[in-house]
Amino acid sequence: MRTRGASGFVHLLRAEWTKLWTVRGWSIAMAAAALVIVALGLLIASGDRASCGGPNDDDCPAAPVGPGGEAVQDGFYFVHQPLTGDGTITVRLTSLTGIITYPPPGHDEIVDGVVPWAKAGIMIKDGTEPGSSYAAVMLTGDHGARMQHDFTHDTAGRPGGASATSPRWLRLTRAGDTLTGEESADGVRWTGIDTVQLKGLPDDVQVGLFVASPCDLTVSSSLGGSAEECRFTQATAVFDRVEVQGSTPLDAWSGIEVADDGGQTAWERDHRPNGFVPSGDTLTVSGAGDIAPLGDAGAAPVERTLTGVFAGLVVVIVVAAMFSTTEYRRGLIRSTLLASPRRSRALAAKAVVIGVAAFAAGLAATAVTVPLGTRILRANGIQILPAPQLTDLRVVVGTAALLAVAAVFALALGMLLRRSVVAVTVGVAALVLPYFLAVGSVVPDGAAAWLMRLTPAAGFAIQQSIPAYPQVIGHYAPSTGYYPLAPWLGFAVLGAYTALALGLAAVRLHRSDA
The pLDDT tens digits of the residues spanning 352-389 come to 999 999 999 999 999 999 999 999 988 888 888 877 77
Are 280 and 330 in a shared domain?
Answer: no
Confidence bin at 340 (pLDDT 50/70/90): low
Confidence bin at 56 (pLDDT 50/70/90): very low
Total Cβ atoms within 10 A of residue 277: 12
- pLDDT for res 2: 45
Are 461 and 501 in a shared domain?
Answer: yes
Average pLDDT, the chain: 86
- pLDDT for res 53: 47
Name 80's bridge partners: 208, 254
**What is the amino acid identity at position 371?**
P
What is the extent of the structural domain holding 399? 17-47+299-511
- pLDDT for res 355: 95
Q: Give the residue-averaged pLDDT of 87-95.
A: 96
> Is residue 57 assigned to a domain?
no
Burial of 234 by CB count in 10 Å (0-12 exposed, 13-18 middle, 19+ buried)? buried
Task: Say yes or no to pLDDT of 395 above 60.
Answer: yes
Any idea what the CATH number is for the domain that residue 276 is in?
2.60.120
Domain end point (choices 293, 315, 348) = 293
pTM of full prediction above 0.85 = no
Task: Say yes or no to pLDDT of 50 above 50.
Answer: yes
Dihedral class, residue 151 (left if φ above 0, else alpha if ψ from -120 to 50, else beta): left
Total Cβ atoms within 10 A of residue 199: 8
Handedness of CA 91, 92, 94, 97 (dihedral sign): positive
Name 219's bridge partners: 228
Are 192 and 78 in a shared domain?
Answer: yes
Are 129 and 147 in a shared domain?
Answer: yes
Confidence bin at 267 (pLDDT 50/70/90): very low
> Is residue 58 assigned to a domain?
no
Are 265 and 304 in a shared domain?
Answer: no
Domain end point (choices 263, 293, 323) = 293
Are 172 and 242 in a shared domain?
Answer: yes
Task: Say yes or no to pLDDT of 513 above 80.
Answer: no
**What is the amino acid identity at position 251?**
D
Top mean-pLDDT range of 20-34, 122-136, 318-332: 122-136
Are 418 and 470 in a shared domain?
Answer: yes
Q: Give the residue-averaged pLDDT of 482-495.
A: 95
> Is residue 62 assigned to a domain?
no
DSSP β-ladder status, 168-175 and 178-184 = antiparallel
Angle at 234 between CA 292 and CA 90, to 5 degrees: 70
Are 181 and 308 in a shared domain?
Answer: no
> Is residue 3 assigned to a domain?
no
Q: What's the rounded Cα separation, in Å, for the pair 443 and 428?
A: 18
Handedness of CA 411, 412, 418, 421 (dihedral sign): negative
Instruction: Convert 370-429 into a string of H (helix), E (strand) and C (coil).
Output: HHHHHHHHHHCCCCECCCCCCHHHHHHHHHHHHHHHHHHHHHHHHHHHCCHHHHHHHHHH
CA dihedral 387, 389, 392, 394 (to 10 degrees): -130
Are 304 and 247 in a shared domain?
Answer: no
> Is residue 5 assigned to a domain?
no
Nearest to 363 by CA among 296, 315, 420, 306: 306
Task: Say yes or no to pLDDT of 102 above 90.
Answer: no
Confidence bin at 266 (pLDDT 50/70/90): very low
Name 243's bridge partners: 90
Residue 467 φ/ψ, nearest 5 degrees: -75, 160
Domain end point (choices 243, 263, 293) = 293
- pLDDT for res 117: 95
Are 262 and 326 in a shared domain?
Answer: no
Q: Give the residue-averaged pLDDT of 480-505.
A: 94
- pLDDT higher at 479 or 260: 479
> Is residue 434 assigned to a domain?
yes
Are 241 and 362 in a shared domain?
Answer: no
Q: Give the HSE-up count for residue 161: Cα atoms under 13 Å, Cβ half-sphere.
A: 15
> Is residue 54 assigned to a domain?
no
Nearest to 95 by CA among 314, 282, 370: 282
Are 284 and 150 in a shared domain?
Answer: yes
* Percent of the chain whose pLDDT exceeds 70: 86
> Is residue 164 assigned to a domain?
yes
Handedness of CA 116, 119, 125, 129 (dihedral sign): positive
Confidence bin at 228 (pLDDT 50/70/90): confident
- pLDDT for res 299: 75
Task: Say yes or no to pLDDT of 472 above 70.
Answer: yes
Task: Say yes or no to pLDDT of 319 above 80.
Answer: yes
* Cα 345 to chain centroid, rounded: 39
Count of structural domains, the chain? 2
Helix, strand, coil fractions of the chain, as percent rounded to 5: 40, 25, 30
- pLDDT for res 224: 58
Task: Say yes or no to pLDDT of 457 above 50.
Answer: yes
Task: Say yes or no to pLDDT of 106 above 80.
Answer: no
